[in-house]
Chains A and B, each alone.
Chain A
């Protein structure tokens, strides 16, 4: 599959839930430490020989750390920006009309955004200001702020089954489960001894959750019995930056790490590591699995490259 070179360092990739060949990429200049950001929307062709086409790009005044697609409008994107803002971009409108919204409430870097896949009317953002905020499209301010974590919240993800439930992973070494109908978090999961950088829900088991930590490990949990993890996946050489459950197979997990690799795991197997891709030459920080095409993966990293490939093939193969 072809490769796309971004001018800035890659931070996140997301497949469109509407078009099987569309991908959004969040990038930041100077490794996200200082400078601008840009969101790219790419169309990769069905035939591997033709190059990836960029159909739109949106510039921001600070790095973009994460991006998510709207589940209700195929042209709408939500971006997490390092200046504390959450920006909405509409592909159907000319660049001059974008961003269609700029929601500035977080006081520090916004590190993740996730669109509600069940109810499709809202999204959450998590920030280094220790909070998670809930937003809807038609309100200029956040609906609610969830403030319990004691350090950066690196990621917040909706439960794929329950429209009101989400999980947040924080540098305070806990994962918290929230129900937006409840005043506080409904569960605190002290999942790792070190900072937790990412978490995701199992798409087939509404109690299954996976966490990734600076301690180089990935842990799979059943929230009903949170004292012992259901599985511990060791194999990354450095902090695990992002972790994702497969939308197609219950036991499959993808992860990427500061050790520059993207790994695939089947947590039910004795030998859990089912694939390791070392195509990146810098920290691998963004990974996603396509909902529409089984086995299709995308990754990006600080080497300014975006790869799209089918599981089992070499990402670098032309």
Chain B
């Protein structure tokens, strides 16, 4: 109460102007300390940017189950019916008004461009989007889904819009990998252009041969992929990210249509073992090492990722699943296109201001065991951090969807792992000789407040030495 009386007295003095100079002896408090900038740099390799609300964050990421093409759960499902459920899910799960979405970008590979763009636009209508929401497709081959997410992130950062959806779609039942019909005779002069026409399986053999990846290493990787995917499915881990799709299946022979709900990946073979895989014949080359067992499966699937500015997500009270930190696409020799991740991952990690050691989890697409094993060895990654829930050898690689699928898988796994798992990387190789990678961060991590600044150039040598 004394405090309140004192406060009242101070404030009353303001209204009763009388001189209030008290005759306290003013003691000079001397101190030798003064403020200065610490040049030592922080312990964290990464400092959060000044404008925190500007971060592009992921608030929802979902996928369909991934099913074997022509034989699996989606063999009688049209591509647009595959995309619509995931587009609808990201809106429904976040209670977002669909008219607020600034753009939808869909990664899709095999289908003819314009036809697929139309189908995707139709899918947006099935999913309940109004006509005012635009949509486009993007094709960066196997990383199209990741490219779609990166495009949306970049556009949000550029201020084109504040909310966007990056998605991926592929029905390898409907569209098959075909060979280029007409080849320009010029390719005989340009060796690397010619190599672009190599079937992917042959590039895989090239990687195995050039970098010495043995058949056994490859089979072992395939077994591990199936084992991890089966364990993840059995423990219900994928239930967080898979959106059940109600569709139909036509029974072969009788032609009877049966309504079904597909909510489980059907490519995983839990009983895969080395002995069985060793019996398989090489699929692409007589004396080769890539087989149907240690290559990615041909599949159908779709995925969608909802991105927005952090400030907006906080305003709407949406949970922040992850922050989009960086993206890099690189080129490599088309003859060994599978080495893409080995080049793309360091590039993306560097541009995020991080080092490889800072990354807690990797999703590297298993196009072929040869290239997957090579990239993991080349970057000296801890196998316990890579594809912890299996990869494309186990549940398949629906080309355009894979990138967006990985975002859902990675971010839900990071969420399960808690704060110890702060940074994650997604990467894949790209046909015709490229690689792409992106770095994601948990949404709820912030660096300790610190004044230390990173010393940009720390050249301790004298100028004469340069």
Contact = CB atoms under 8 A, between A and B. Distances in A.
Interface of A: 18-19, 31-34, 43, 53, 55, 72-76, 82, 88, 90-93, 100-101, 109, 119, 121-122, 128, 130-131, 134, 136-138, 143-152, 164, 171-173, 180-181, 183-184, 193-195, 197, 214-216, 238-239, 241, 258
A100 to B, nearest CB: 7
Contacts of B451: 121-122, 136-138
Q: Which 9 A-B pairs have the closest CB atoms?
A: A147-B29, A137-B449, A121-B451, A34-B4, A239-B14, A150-B24, A75-B52, A214-B17, A183-B30
A79 to B, nearest CB: 15
Nearest to A72: B50
Contact of B34 (A18, A19, A180): A180
Chain B contact surface mostly: loop
A151 B18 CA distance: 14
B21 to A, nearest CB: 6
B10 A93 contact: no
Contact of A148 (B13, B17, B26, B50): B26
Interface string B1-28: 0011001101101110111111110111
Contacts of A148: 26, 28-29
27 contacts: A33-B4, A53-B315, A73-B50, A74-B50, A74-B51, A74-B54, A75-B52, A82-B7, A92-B52, A109-B7, A128-B10, A130-B24, A131-B29, A138-B452, A143-B34, A146-B29, A150-B26, A151-B22, A171-B13, A173-B21, A183-B28, A183-B31, A184-B28, A195-B13, A197-B14, A215-B17, A258-B15
Nearest to A83: B3
Interface string B410-454: 000000000000000000000000000000000000101111100
Contacts of B48: 73
Nearest to A116: B35
B314 A91 contact: yes
A88 B4 contact: no
Nearest to A150: B24
Nearest to B38: A138
B21 A150 contact: yes
Main secondary structure on A side of the interface with B: loop
A193 B446 contact: no
Nearest to B1: A34
B315 A55 contact: yes
A93 B48 CA distance: 13
Contact of B449 (A53, A101, A128): A101
B53 interface: yes
B7 A150 contact: no
Contacts of B450: 137-138
B15 A238 contact: yes
Contacts of A90: 446, 449
Interface residues of B, number: 44
A122 B31 CA distance: 17
Interface of B: 3-4, 7-8, 10-11, 13-15, 17-24, 26-31, 33-35, 37-38, 48, 50-54, 310-311, 314-315, 446, 448-452
A195 B15 CA distance: 11
Nearest to A136: B451
Given A73-B52, A183-B30, 8 more contacts: A18-B50, A19-B311, A73-B50, A76-B449, A138-B452, A144-B31, A144-B35, A150-B24
Contact of A164 (B13, B31, B35, B310): B35
Contact of A18 (B37, B53, B314): B53
A92 to B, nearest CB: 5
Contacts of B51: 18, 74
A72 B49 CA distance: 9
Contacts of B448: 138
A151 B33 contact: no
Nearest to B14: A239
Nearest to B4: A34
A214 B37 CA distance: 38
Contact of A172 (B14, B21, B314, B452): B21
A33 B8 contact: yes
Nearest to A149: B26
B35 A195 contact: no
Contacts of A92: 52, 310, 314, 446
Contacts of A238: 15
B8 A73 contact: no
Contact of B19 (A33, A76, A173): A173
Contact of B446 (A93, A109, A121, A146): A93
A92 B313 CA distance: 11
A145 B31 contact: yes
Residue of B23, B446, B448 with most chain A CB atoms under a 10 A cut-off? B446
Contacts of A136: 35, 451
A150 B24 CA distance: 6
A214 B18 CA distance: 9
A88 B20 contact: no
A273 to B, nearest CB: 21
